[in-house]
């Protein structure tokens, strides 16, 4: 059931079942899957989370670890993939913001909003170009962080705002958009 060009966006909170749904959808969309992991094992907790996710993936799937320049890296590694899972935009935006902070040698709460926004939007635009040009279906996972408390640190507010903008751009691109709540998918958008 190959559906080249189809794009599905799955949003939700932490531990809402986003990754599980993405994997189930990918198995329905095609046999040859490229799993794009944007997370890096920066500490022991993250290493354990990554390991837990690895155990739940079929061994036949190819893995691409890409923290930034995701769209470009997918295009060089896509090969014969029928489906590409990008898990997740949440960590991708964080990676871009962290790399921007290191380049500019600023403290996290002194990050320049316009510069960070420019870099995050360029990353998302690159991913969208990849989605539009690839001969594969895409399942993209991201957290919905705009429904919680307002972060008390500037860097947290910048992150929340930029992730919200990234999610909006991806939702506009997507054929289908789901919101996961307590393991239950709610379809928000369906392209007929």
Task: Give the residue numbers marked as catalytic.
Answer: 53
Run of H or E including 141: strand 137-143
Q: Angle, nearest 10°, between helix axes 113-133 and 154-173? A: 20
Phi/psi of residue 120, each to 5°?
Answer: -65, -45
Spatial separation of the C-alpha atoms in residues 16 and 183, rounded to whole Å:
5
**Angstrom distance (rounded) from CA 127 to CA 22:** 17
CB 110, CB 60: distance < 8 Å: no
C-alpha closest to that of 19 among 41, 36, 40, 2? 36
């Amino acid at each position: 059931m190959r559906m080249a060009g189809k794009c599905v966006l799955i949003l939700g909170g932490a531990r809402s079942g986003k990754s599980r749904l993405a994997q189930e959808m990918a198995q329905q969309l095609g046999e040859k899957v490229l799993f794009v992991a944007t997370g890096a094992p920066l500490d022991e907790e993250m290493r354990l989370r990554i390991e837990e996710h690895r155990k739940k993936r079929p061994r036949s799937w190819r893995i691409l670890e890409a923290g930034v320049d995701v769209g470009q890296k997918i295009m060089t590694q896509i090969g014969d993939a029928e489906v590409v899972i990008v898990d997740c935009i949440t960590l991708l935006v964080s990676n871009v913001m962290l790399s921007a902070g290191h380049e500019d040698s600023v403290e996290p709460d002194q990050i320049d909003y316009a510069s960070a926004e420019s870099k995050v939007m360029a990353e998302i635009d690159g991913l969208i170009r990849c989605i539009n040009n690839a001969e594969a279906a895409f399942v993209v996972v991201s957290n919905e962080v705009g429904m919680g408390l307002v972060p008390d640190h500037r860097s947290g507010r910048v992150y929340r705002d930029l992730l919200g903008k990234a999610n909006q751009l991806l939702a506009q691109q997507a054929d289908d958009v789901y919101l996961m709540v307590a393991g239950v998918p709610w379809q928000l958008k369906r392209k007929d």
